[in-house]
Amino acid sequence: MAMPSPAEPQRRHARSNRARILQVARRELGARPDATLDEIAQAAGVVRRTLYGHFPGRGALLEALGEEAAEALRQALVRAHDPEDPPEWALARFVLAIWPIGDRYRMLLSLARRDLGEERVGELLAPATEHCLALLERGQAEGVFHRHLPAPVLSAALQGISFALLESVNLGAWEDDGTSAAVTHLIAAGVAPERALEIARTIGPAE
């Protein structure tokens, strides 16, 4: 039986520290976007050198949080995918699946757009963007969604709606479990309001 490497406990400790720093950073930056790395280290219960060993700067920390959010999005898309769904149901399920992730990372999304740039944020959101575009193209082809906007333009518009709704939550102007967001997206895509509400309520918010 192979003996564990002497370095393994150190690696586990390092992984634990990194995970804790990210968890605390998400909380602290979500509450106080101007929180410094030193303040995050203190809140995480690690020395400054430990934090900088994992994340040499604010950009590196936000990049790691962005990757964390992107992975959460990918997992949510897998869970939400149902090949039997009609397009309007698939779009509602998509919005309801990703809403909790957007809600969890909503403040960090604004920070990432400033610190990492729109191009990098676009790369991190690419799986969700591509999934939404495919749904819209299918819905337009089947006559479920309106066609007065090309699917890529409609997809960009819906993404803008998502950002605007999350910003309203940031500002304390609104709260939602994803249901109203899903209804809004369906209506913007061309589904009748009553039908949109029925679909969103039937699916229900993601756990």
Task: Identify whether residues 102 and 159 lie together within a single domain.
Answer: yes
Residues 38 and 70 in one domain: no
pLDDT at residue 7, rounded to an integer: 63
45 and 12, same structural domain?
A: yes
The pLDDT assigned to 195 comes to 98
Please state the pTM of the whole predicted model. 0.85
Mean pLDDT (the chain) is 90
**Which residues of the chain are modeled with pLDDT < 50?**
none
171 in the same domain as 138: yes
CATH number for the domain spanning 90: value is 1.10.357.10
Give the CATH number of the domain where residue 10 resides.
1.10.10.60
Q: Are residues 24 and 115 in the same domain?
A: no
Contact between 135 and 142 (Cβ < 8 Å): no
Cβ pair 59, 65 in contact under 8 A: no
pLDDT score at 206: 82
Q: What is the pLDDT of residue 86?
A: 96
Provide the residue range defining the domain that includes 44: 1-56
Pairwise CA distance, residues 171 & 163, whole Å: 12
Same-domain check for residues 138 and 80 = yes
Last residue of a domain, one of 39, 56, 73: 56
- C-alpha angle 109-113-116 in degrees, rounded to nearest 5: 110
Distance of alpha carbon 71 from the chain centroid? 9
Q: How far apart are CA 58 and CA 49, in angstroms?
A: 14
pLDDT per residue over 5-48, tens digit each? 556 676 787 888 899 999 999 989 888 888 999 999 999 999 99
Measured from the Cβ of residue 59, the count of other Cβ atoms closer than 10 Å reads: 14
